[in-house]
Each structure stands twice: as structure tokens, then as C-alpha cells.
Structure 1
Amino acid sequence: MTVDDFESGRDASAPIEMLEQYFAAHGWNHERNGDEEIVATFQGSWAQYELRAVWREEDRVLQFLALPDIRVPADKRLTIYETIGLINEQLWIGHFEMWASSGMLLFRHATLLENGQESVLTIEQAETLVEAAIDECERFYPVFQFVLWADKNPQEAIAAALIETQGEA
């Protein structure tokens, strides 16, 4: 199945099924864990990301996570919490967080799928879920690296990583 075949196929499917089709159409490795969960991998510019979707039928909520393979050492966690707070102020969809038990950094967002009797995900919604997560991880990955490995404070890291260029090279 190609991306074009996928886009010309069904307009909406059960959430995990739609994401499975989306990942397959892009040629990404993925594994489905029943009707409630799917995990895929995507090679970004900075890192390989684990993409995970969890469907909660009783709440009709699809939670989407992108994990950029960053584990924060204990001595950097306070600084990363501050960095996450500053970054999250800039986001419209989703948020970054760090799991306290493991120091794992991730991006998470969710969508409520209230479509009458059926809970379906459209191709547009699937694309938005996945691309928003990947785009934000790619955009802010350097910020986290500057804090973790270059010992920059959060403000310096954000300023250094998010410089917008003018014109063409």
C-alpha cells in the first residue's frame, strides 16, 4: 500500500486501525497490541522516535505519544522541568513531559472522538496527530540536547535552538 492508495481509501476507520494503515502507507515499522494500542518507529532528523497510540473506548479518547529516546539523568531533571515549562507555553497542541520514575522525555496529546455511535478516526485526524507530535519533537529536540549536553540554561537553549533564518543560503 502506498501513501496515495491510503489517501484514496476509506475516509474513516476505528482509531488503531486507521493509524495502522497510516503507518503501513508510510512504510514505518509498527506493531499492533490488540484493538487498543499500536507502536511504530520513525527515523527523524535528530533521533529515532517511538510513536505510540492508546485507544480508550470507554472515554472515546485516543492518546498519542512520541518518545524521542531521551532519558534525563537525575542531576538534570530540575532544569529539564523548567525547560519543559517554557516550551509548553509555546505549544497549541499537546505538551512535553518527563516521567519521574524513568526520566524518559516524551510528547503527548490526545483527541476526543465523539462521532455518534461509532468512534472513528479520519485520515486528516491521523495525519494531524502524527505530524504534530513529530514536528514538535523535531523542533525542540535540540533545545533538550543543549540543556543536557551543552549545559545551557533553558532560556539560552531555546534561543540557540530556535533561531529563525532570514533569506536563502
Structure 2
Amino acid sequence: MTEEDSSEEREDGAPIEVLEAYFDARGWSCERAGDGEIVASAPGSWAQYELRGVWRPDDQVLQFLAFPDIKVAADKRLPIYETLGLVNEQLWLGHFELWSGSGLIVFRYSALLDAGEGEGLTFEQAEAIAEAALEECERFFPVFQFVLWGGKSPQDAITAALIETAGEA
């Protein structure tokens, strides 16, 4: 292995290492699921979230996934697809999707990193990505629940869940 190959190998793993350092700093349990993948568990108000970082060195893309522990039965998929469309209109970064095979709802965000120029993922970027994913999962978890368990229409669920409250109880 040449020095150049060794350097390239270190850079390819850097985003996962930075995510691991961030997860450790937060006290979240995490484990490597391979050279280019890490899985963590993060607490939320509504659920325990599985967070997953997948580094694709050939594309220089870090894919970050957050699973809000919501599984959609076949008979509820049509209203959830409509809900996903309305929810995704509210997002600036990332999107929610329904995995057809498993019925799981997932938040997905992809970041194009220039690791080849030494500009890999910073700790601050890892924090921003993870926090944004968790915030969106927390914000929209009730919307999905209102549709799945509350029998609300997608539009009514978003209206009910996103009401701005004044003051504190």
C-alpha cells in the first residue's frame, strides 16, 4: 500500500469517525456496522430514535438516516404517502420517506463532502445534521401518529400538530 492509498483510506473513514465522536460526546450508544457505517440510539420526547450514518467514499456522500420507530401497515400507506408529501413541503433540508419493503418511515439527509481535499465532516457539521434530523422527527412524529392512530386526515393532522402555542403550561 502506498502512502497515497493509506491517506485516502483514512479520509474515507473520517466522516464515520466524526459521527462516532459526536455520538460518544452526547452519551448515545453507538456501534460500527462496517467500515463506512455507524448506528446510534438517541432519546426523544416521542420515541427512541435509531440514527444511522453511511459514508459512500466513491461518491463523497454521507447519508444520514433517522428512524422514528413508526411502522406503517399496508392499509394505512395511502394516507401516509399523502402525509409525507405535505410534511416534506415543510422541510428545508432532508426528507421523510416510507420504505415500501419494511413499512418504516425514515428521515433521510445526504451531505456531499469534499473529503479528498481534506475538508471532511467537522464535529459541528455532525452535530448540525444529527440535531436537524432529530428535531424534524420530533416535530412530525405526532403528525404521523394522528394519521395512523387518530384517524385524522393528513391535512388535519398537520394542522393539529403544528399549532403554535403561546406561553407555557
For 1:35 and 1:115, the matched residues in 2 are separated by 16
For 2:68 and 2:168, the matched residues in 1 are separated by 30
2:36 aligned residue? 36
28-37 or 149-158, which deviates more: 28-37
For 1:49 and 1:167, the matched residues in 2 are separated by 28
Q: Structure 1 residue 124: deviation in Å?
A: 1.5
For 1:122 and 1:35, the matched residues in 2 are separated by 19
1:131 aligned residue? 131
- Unpaired stretches in structure 2, ≥5 consecutive residues: 1-12
Map 1:117-156 → 2, pairs under 5 A: 117-118=117-118, 120-156=120-156
For 1:84 and 1:135, the matched residues in 2 are separated by 16
Map 1:72-111 → 2, pairs under 5 A: 72-111=72-111
1:70 aligned residue? 70
1:25 aligned residue? 25
Would the aligned equivalents of 1:60 and 1:119 in 2 still touch at CA under 8 Å?
Answer: no
Would the aligned equivalents of 2:60 and 2:115 in 1 still touch at CA under 8 Å?
Answer: no
CA RMSD in angstroms comes to 1.3
- TM-score in terms of structure 1 length: 0.89
**Percent same amino acid at aligned positions?**
68
- Unpaired stretches in structure 1, ≥5 consecutive residues: 1-12
Aligned residue for 1:103, secondary structure, equals coil
Residue identity matched to 2:84: I
Between the two proteins, the alignment pairs up a number of residues equal to 157
Q: Structure 1 residue 167: deviation in Å?
A: 3.2
Per-residue displacement from partner, 1:136-156 (whole Å, max 9, x unpaired)? 000000000000001000010
Aligned residue for 1:121, secondary structure, equals coil
For 1:38 and 1:109, the matched residues in 2 are separated by 15
For 1:24 and 1:161, the matched residues in 2 are separated by 32
Per-residue displacement from partner, 1:10-67 (whole Å, max 9, x unpaired)? xxx8100000000011110100123300000011000010000000001000000000
Q: Structure 1 residue 119: deviation in Å?
A: 5.1
- TM-score in terms of structure 2 length: 0.89
For 2:40 and 2:150, the matched residues in 1 are separated by 30
Aligned residue for 2:117, secondary structure, equals coil
2:55 aligned residue? 55
For 2:33 and 2:71, the matched residues in 1 are separated by 25
2:158 aligned residue? 158
Aligned residue for 1:21, secondary structure, equals helix
Residue identity matched to 2:29: N
For 1:114 and 1:16, the matched residues in 2 are separated by 14
